[in-house]
Structure 1
């Protein structure tokens, strides 16, 4: 399996968008155009000394001159956000993946409801921008710690002035509390499409409230895993294409073993959230630990995320 060729880019602009959130604008290093993308897409960024991280594309869908990212400084993170906040400089060269989209917008929905917490607004901004440009009906409920913490506030204000759009802010410091996620979901029209991105507790409430709805109308994206990775080991991964059998020892993930064997498997978050490392399973029963596959996809047992999932069978054959 070969990863898509990386795209060389330059940092064109760095701008503080709100307390703890920096806006990063990227352009192609030879000034040519970038690939177009759809609302909800993200790119994987190869960060010096910090590996690969996935960040949502904030700008208008279809933009090809530059890409814009919104990156929150995470004190307990793995170094990616710290690099952008402390070390990144205009003119720095980076490599990114082509845009990917696992959080797509349904553009022709009669109404779209968005629920976000803090930096969770970033993947929703391109969706809202797209709906605003189409004149579609949408509503955003955004929870933040204080008014200085609203990412891309000017852009949100611009979208809120368009016909058919509405922004509701919940500011903890002002005593406005938090959105009642379950009430918002349960009161939404059956044909409305609902989107959520934010803290785990918010998404958990959103998913639970949406169980009575058609699954096709409930969309969400997580930033962190909800289950511990499978690292017990003690099973074998067979590569279907060349027949090799690789032992997975305790303390290592399937992805670790594949990379150690010299296989070029694409990956990014290493938490089972982004879907970059998805592999087809031909035989065996995976021990699913990801937050990416749907319940139906898990039940089918024909795919897994090797960065975090293991095996319930002694042997697992994958399409490599």
Structure 2
């Protein structure tokens, strides 16, 4: 009998074979000993579901409005930088695959294809940025997002200094020829000369950013419930629970262990998003049960991109979506509104 292989595991294998070893290390590496990277997917497997039966699940209702975008199901694509390291089409393949699957993508500030070029190929999308030391450059990025038609801006909050990434640093000594940070150039000249992380950024800077645009601002990288409260008070319009894929701080808390407290503080005032280790449809269900409104896939869609381009991205999204729908039905959940902590074993009381 042949060994069973999950479709995402097969794409992982194909991506590793197709990708340059330095790019593979960049994508899959993390901070220091990479304990958080390994635990991110493993933690979901420790959580058990508690199904209910005798429920009509013949017509599942999974659509929702998220900041003005109608999501057909609560699965999106997280920002990932420099995707031409992984496939020739880079982010073009990602947005095409996302659109084909009906999933909303978040385009990285460090995209290797300019957001302006991606906009015509993408469905509804969000733009990711870091608040720059150079506030004028920050405003340029905001205006770029507005002009390209982004539906909101996700700003990273959890990266005041670079993460210590031994595997990445050993393999990636510089960008290969033909790969560039397309949104951060002017006339082919890089705009970043002294680094772009600003360790002085505070909630006051987030209030300033909110005042600069009518686009909703999403705060990415929140784990502590008090930070969720500060985010709402600063005017952010969504809270994004994430540990940066384990790339910044090792042994950091897992988002699934933080999302419930964050959701309780937010109390429905803004949407709560989550990423970090989503590999299966049951992971999506568990995240929603504990307080997320939607989840974002990270590394797996890049494996799909590297293995099979836009079709691979589409396949990853649809695989996780189909597993999520099956899990909803088998747990007796006919709609997103029916998903509560009671579907988690030990939370039924």
- Asked whether the two chains share a fold, i.e. TM above 0.5, the reply is no
Pick the structure with greater CA Rg: 1
Question: Which is helix-richer, 1 or 2?
Answer: 2
Length-normalised TM-score, structure 1: 0.35
Question: Which is strand-richer, 1 or 2?
Answer: 1
